[in-house]
Structure 1
Amino acid sequence: MSQEFIPPAKPIIGDEERRAVDAVLATGQLAQGAEVAEFEKEFSQVLLDGRAAVAVNSGTSGLHLGLLAAGIGPGDEVIVPSFTFAATANSVALTGATPVFADIELDHYTLDPASVEAMITDKTAAIMPVHLYGHPFDVDAIGALAAKHGVKVFEDAAQAHGAAVNGRKVGTFGDFAMFSLYPTKNMTSGEGGMVSTGLTDVERRLRLLRNQGMERQYENELVGFNARMTNIHAAIGRVQLTKVGGWTRTRQENAAFLDANLSGVITPEVAEGCEHVYHQYTIRVPEGRDAFAQALKDEYNVGCGVYYPIPNHRLAPFQTDDELPVTEEAAQTVLSLPVHPSLSQNDLERIVEAVNKLAKAGS
């Protein structure tokens, strides 16, 4: 175990980010202000083809406020994947609405349109798919379903900065979309989220909801939250925004190397017309995934992660009797390998060697 540990994720914070933070600290203007407004404009230009962007203090806040701004509340049902981080379902429940879990398709780990349609009732107000691991969900099929049944589409794009379908950026398909800016994401602001929308009324309600229901100080128009982003976090995000395109290309190059050299495991597929930004590089290990993951760490010093071992519909707050067989299979077999832009060529070769040896030993 003399070789250095390869972490599954590694935030990149450099001198430019530090200088940007120091510049904000020097002004004394730390709370939401001009830096946040500039970050919103730049995020819109770089990642949203000009669609409005509203900065908040976390991705979960972004989903929660987006749902509220879009009119979701008690009595509504919102169809979501069970195979995702719990924030997706949590945000629906926090509005008083009910998350309804649909199954995924195994090739890309995103919502299966046939399963979604089977879950639609007269209470269904929206579908909120996840662009999981950085791969877009089937926007055409989900969009067609929503139009057929008269429901809305919201995008959980927490992991998908810069992903696209036929050249169109994710975050521009639904009534709103949310991007996480947590440290392990493809870009970060330290902590935070960004909500995009093409609807002026939703944008205005988002801006009210994040700021105690106020547009003008002390003139509260509705019950709101303190979900603002600080200028400090926005300063980090602005610098990261200038780098995320290059980091994404490196992630894609790293993924291509893994695709070409891994054997004995099931590597990720990319749907036609889709640009995958590889927030995670997720393989499937059909048998003995947990022992495989442990051996990667213990024997080869290669980090990895399981996203996600317990489907949402099996979690205590959301226990249901839903039969979601593909979700269950994914939860038992997926394993995410390092793909981040800090990997060296030697790191990539070590990952390949470790995975191939373990796969061969288990075959």
Structure 2
Amino acid sequence: MNIDFANLDKAYQEHEKEFTEATLEVMSSARYILGKETEELEERLREFTGSAHALACSSGTDALLLALMALGIRSRDEVITTPFSFIATAETIACLGAKPVFVDINEETYNIDPSLIEAAITENTKAIMPVSLYGQMAHMDEINRIAAKYGLAVIEDAAQSFGALYKGTRSCNASIIGCTSFFPAKPLGCFGDGGAVFSQSAALYEKMKAMRVHGQTKRYTHKYIGMGGRLDNLQAAVLNVKMKYYEQDIIRRQEVAQKYTERLKSSLSTPVVQEDRTSVWAQYTIRVQGREKVQESLKKVGIPTAVHYPIPMHLQECFQHLGYKKGDFPVSETCANEVMSLPMNPFLQEKEIDYITSNLLRSLK
């Protein structure tokens, strides 16, 4: 049996007719950038999250960059974040000349540990950027409380958690700005790059809207330094189709995760979802000893795996100038050595889950 990790083929085939009709309409209209499809998507996103404002953009990375730029983050500022994430989180901070300040993670959720944040705050701190990793939101109440105490902004990096709930609140709507990604392999993915940024603040929304088009408030009139961060209408059309079925896709992903956990929990460390929140299961990530051997064993029987993420940010070469060293964030380092993601998508069948879990357990013996 050969297992597909994300099963993007099936995601396309399930709604192929609707995708074809929607994208043909865009192509025949010759309106490829910021047309009615994008406007419709932004309205769908706003209603889905409950956020006052939603702005579609060119990628999840650009969403983070727009958020930081709108908040005025610049050289010598500091932004507190996690070392255990995809590089885009810290990279966008560094791109503006600011300093990523890392705080270790909670060992159960893999999200930033709020109890360690206050010790990292300095006079240069301007924002906190928690990552809602693997599909589950960070402890946003505590993070927002700390931010309010010190007058800081909170940007939720929700690239992996779009649709998740925290105490009844949707991801992307739990802080002043939320950002997500529609990269194809994300729980809600388009057919290329795409992202969105959300805010309750009308002023920040209008600023980011201008910055998305090179800081332009009207044609050839530029109020801000901005970027080319627009989402194209073909991707918006694809996402409009997918949004109609996304709630059901989340349920199916949760059912797959539950079946994994039922079969594995007695033998190894399975993911923990806090009682006051849900996960959209961007990844189903376990922890194993001797990871490379386990991965090779599974590969031989047609089961793909992935490691999200093998090297914490503070040990990446591009961040050497920050002065961190091995041992500074022990939980992140331990997790980086042990985490392994299993195939996760809404289309995994019972027999495939049985095949994956039985071979995984066999490889651990």
**Common fold by TM > 0.5:** yes
CA distance in 2: counterparts of 1:139 and 1:31, whole angstroms: 34
Could you tell me the percent identity over the aligned residues? 35
CA distance in 2: counterparts of 1:121 and 1:317, whole angstroms: 23
Gaps of 5+ in 2: none
Q: CA deviation at 1:22?
A: 0.9
CA contact (8 A) 1:70 1:175 kept: no
Partner of 2:6: 9
Gaps of 5+ in 1: none
CA distance in 2: counterparts of 1:86 and 1:133, whole angstroms: 14
Are 1:137 and 2:138 counterparts?
yes
Deviations, residues 63-115 of structure 1 (Å, cap 9, x unaligned): 00111012211121000100000000011111221111110011000001122
CA distance in 1: counterparts of 2:71 and 2:177, whole angstroms: 8
**What aligned pairs does 1:1-363 form with structure 2 within 5 A after superposition?**
3=1, 5-11=2-8, 12-13=11-12, 14-15=15-16, 16-46=18-48, 48-190=49-191, 191-262=193-264, 263-285=266-288, 287-298=289-300, 300-319=301-320, 320-322=323-325, 323-359=328-364, 361=365
Q: CA deviation at 1:244?
A: 1.3
CA distance in 1: counterparts of 2:225 and 2:115, whole angstroms: 38
Deviations, residues 144-191 of structure 1 (Å, cap 9, x unaligned): 211222211110000011101111111112211111000000012221
CA contact (8 A) 1:177 1:195 kept: yes
CA contact (8 A) 2:51 2:199 kept: no
CA distance in 1: counterparts of 2:7 and 2:89, whole angstroms: 24
CA contact (8 A) 2:52 2:201 kept: no
Q: CA deviation at 1:339?
A: 2.1
SS at match of 1:126: strand
CA distance in 2: counterparts of 1:284 and 1:168, whole angstroms: 29
CA distance in 2: counterparts of 1:50 and 1:331, whole angstroms: 33
Question: TM-score scaled to structure 1, two decimals?
Answer: 0.95
CA distance in 2: counterparts of 1:258 and 1:140, whole angstroms: 30
CA distance in 2: counterparts of 1:248 and 1:276, whole angstroms: 9
CA distance in 2: counterparts of 1:41 and 1:241, whole angstroms: 11
SS at match of 1:321: coil
SS at match of 1:155: strand
CA contact (8 A) 2:51 2:198 kept: no
CA distance in 2: counterparts of 1:51 and 1:315, whole angstroms: 37
Count of residues in Structure 1 that have an aligned counterpart in Structure 2: 354
CA contact (8 A) 2:51 2:173 kept: no
SS at match of 1:73: coil
**Structure 1 residues 50, 327: CA separation in 2 closer, same or farther (over 3 Å shift)?**
closer
CA distance in 2: counterparts of 1:297 and 1:313, whole angstroms: 30
SS at match of 1:211: coil
CA contact (8 A) 1:7 1:304 kept: no
SS at match of 1:44: helix
CA contact (8 A) 2:32 2:234 kept: yes
Deviations, residues 5-61 of structure 1 (Å, cap 9, x unaligned): 212212212311222111111111112222111110111112x11421001101100
The one-letter code sitting in structure 1 at the alignment partner of 2:314 is H
The one-letter code sitting in structure 2 at the alignment partner of 1:197 is S
Deviations, residues 237-267 of structure 1 (Å, cap 9, x unaligned): 1111111111110010011111111142200
Deviations, residues 300-339 of structure 1 (Å, cap 9, x unaligned): 2111110000101111111232500000001000011112
CA contact (8 A) 1:66 1:176 kept: yes
SS at match of 1:295: helix
The one-letter code sitting in structure 2 at the alignment partner of 1:343 is L
Greater displacement, 121-130 / 314-323: 314-323
CA distance in 1: counterparts of 2:294 and 2:52, whole angstroms: 43
SS at match of 2:117: helix
Point out 4+ residue stretches in structure 1 off by more than 4 angstroms.
none
Q: CA deviation at 1:223?
A: 2.0
CA distance in 2: counterparts of 1:67 and 1:10, whole angstroms: 33
CA contact (8 A) 2:147 2:153 kept: yes
CA distance in 1: counterparts of 2:349 and 2:63, whole angstroms: 34
Q: CA deviation at 1:292?
A: 0.9
